[in-house]
């Protein structure tokens, strides 16, 4: 009797192991057997993406459809607008397929659902086409493109390859690489090949569930890319002509701050000291310098660009860097102290010159 119970228990364990093994085998059969992505990078940084997923649906992981999640990149100092996705098309097994697209602050979701209640068992091909905008980070001297190409999936990806194509030729000094893994745990283990107008990367091993393949690229700026004035306005002009903006800001600051100084100086001096009669050129110039320097110092906190928003600071910083030989100003030269001091002196000189010019024109008009 006891022997029968032992045999029965052993048979139960064996059956459980067989069932567990069968479930695990069936689950492991679901996978993305291959992933291909072709990304065309336009001069205005628009990415035109064509993706093809070959999926194996044996255990039912894709019964409910195919869900492609694209991360939305936030706007910031180096990105004019939040990343966006447009012109979306989908095909399943070579035929146009309907899809639903939705977006929140972090994810753009493309849901390709089966026409029937569920997709059949076996292999299916899903093709997606879309354009992606505002994916780059644009700095003064360079710009970065860090892109999650495949996304992360609950099933493995057997193999993947990426083609990064620049229709007008690969940019000079471009540094482009590909890695597999996650944001915090990745390896640059892809094989790189050269294309006539770009580069190709291929994986060397299957990608485990929850991991993906990423592109990391850096380009010198200004250089290959041209920002769109239609989309980014004046910011695009500044990015396309980085040497133009400092001088525009220099002249704008000079005109605005000097004018404000003159508007304030004479009424202020008359109210402070009525016994002195007409203020002298020296006193007016000092007042103009103080007012203009105060406004330009305030602009430092508003624009956060001291080299361009403050004319005197701009010249003072160049002087400080030239004397110290240090690109950051160096010690004992403090950029703040040098900037404020040079602002005072700069606006004082400007005010004295304008006061000399104005009376001469005034006398000339009276002479006529």
What structural domains does the chain harbor?
A: 29-238 (2.60.40.1730), 243-367 (no CATH)
Contacts with 15 (C-beta within 8 Å, 6 or more apart), sequence order: none
Residue 312: per-residue pLDDT: 57
Kind plus residue range of the DSSP H or E element containing 295: helix 281-303
Task: Give, to the nearest 10 degrees, the angle between helix 244-272 and helix 281-303.
Answer: 130
Longest dimension (CA), the chain: 135
**Dihedral over alpha carbons 19, 21, 25, 27 (to 10 degrees):** 70
pLDDT at 182 over 80: yes
Residue 340: per-residue pLDDT: 73
Q: How many CB atoms lie within 10 A of CB 27?
A: 15
pLDDT grade for 102, boundaries at 50, 70 and 90 = very high
- Report CA-CA distances (Å) from 254 to 238, 250, 294, 298: 19, 6, 13, 14
Residue 238: per-residue pLDDT: 64
Q: Each residue of 13-48: pLDDT tens digit?
A: 444 444 444 444 444 589 999 999 999 999 889 999
Q: How many CB atoms lie within 10 A of CB 4?
A: 8
Q: What is the mean pLDDT of residues 187-197?
A: 94
Q: Each residue of 349-362: pLDDT tens digit?
A: 888 888 888 764 44
Q: What is the pTM of this model?
A: 0.64
Question: In terms of pLDDT, which residue wins out, 234 or 88?
Answer: 88
pLDDT grade for 365, boundaries at 50, 70 and 90 = very low
pLDDT at 180 over 90: yes
Question: In terms of pLDDT, which residue wins out, 259 or 25?
Answer: 259
Residue 332: per-residue pLDDT: 47
Q: Which residues pair with 67 in a beta bridge?
A: 111
pLDDT grade for 364, boundaries at 50, 70 and 90 = very low
Distance (Å, whole) CA 215 – CA 177: 6
Q: Each residue of 310-321: pLDDT tens digit?
A: 565 656 556 656
Q: Is the preceding peptide bond at 256 cis, omega within 30 degrees of 0?
A: no
Residue 6: per-residue pLDDT: 46
Q: Whose CA is closest to 146, among 178, 180, 169?
A: 178
């Amino acid at each position: 009797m006891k022997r029968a119970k032992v045999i029965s228990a052993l048979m139960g364990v064996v059956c459980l192991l067989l069932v567990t093994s069968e479930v695990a085998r069936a689950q492991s059969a679901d996978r993305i057997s291959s992933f291909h992505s072709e990304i065309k990078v336009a001069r205005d940084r628009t990415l035109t993406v064509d993706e093809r997923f070959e999926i194996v649906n044996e255990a039912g992981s894709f019964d409910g459809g195919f869900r492609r999640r694209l991360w939305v990149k936030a706007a910031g100092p180096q990105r004019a607008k939040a990343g966006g996705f447009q012109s979306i098309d989908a095909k399943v097994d070579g035929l146009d397929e309907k899809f639903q697209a939705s977006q929140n602050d972090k994810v753009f979701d493309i849901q390709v659902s089966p026409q029937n209640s569920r997709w059949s068992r076996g292999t299916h091909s899903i093709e997606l086409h879309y354009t992606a905008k505002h994916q780059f980070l644009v700095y003064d001297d360079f710009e970065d493109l860090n892109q999650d190409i495949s996304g992360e999936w609950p099933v493995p990806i057997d193999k993947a390859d990426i083609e990064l194509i620049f229709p007008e030729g690969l940019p000079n000094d471009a540094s482009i690489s590909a890695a597999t893994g996650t944001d915090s745990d990745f390896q640059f283990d892809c094989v790189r090949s050269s294309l006539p107008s770009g580069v190709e990367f291929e994986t060397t091993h299957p990608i485990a569930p929850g991991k993906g393949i990423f592109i990391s690229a850096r380009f010198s700026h200004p250089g290959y890319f041209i920002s769109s004035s239609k989309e980014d306005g004046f910011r695009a002009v500044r990015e396309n002509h980085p040497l133009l903006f400092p001088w525009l800001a220099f002249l704008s600051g000079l005109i605005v701050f000097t004018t404000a100084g003159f508007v304030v100086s004479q009424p202020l001096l008359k109210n402070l000291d009525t016994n002195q009669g007409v203020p002298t050129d020296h006193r007016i110039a000092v007042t103009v310098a103080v007012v203009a320097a105060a406004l330009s110092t305030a602009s430092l906190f508003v624009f956060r660009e001291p080299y361009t928003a403050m004319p005197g600071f701009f010249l003072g910083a160049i002087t400080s860097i030239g004397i110290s030989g240090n690109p950051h100003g160096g010690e004992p030269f403090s950029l703040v102290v040098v900037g404020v001091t040079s602002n005072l002196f700069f606006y004082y000189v400007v005010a004295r010159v304008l006061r000399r010019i104005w009376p001469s024109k005034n006398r000339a008009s009276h002479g006529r």
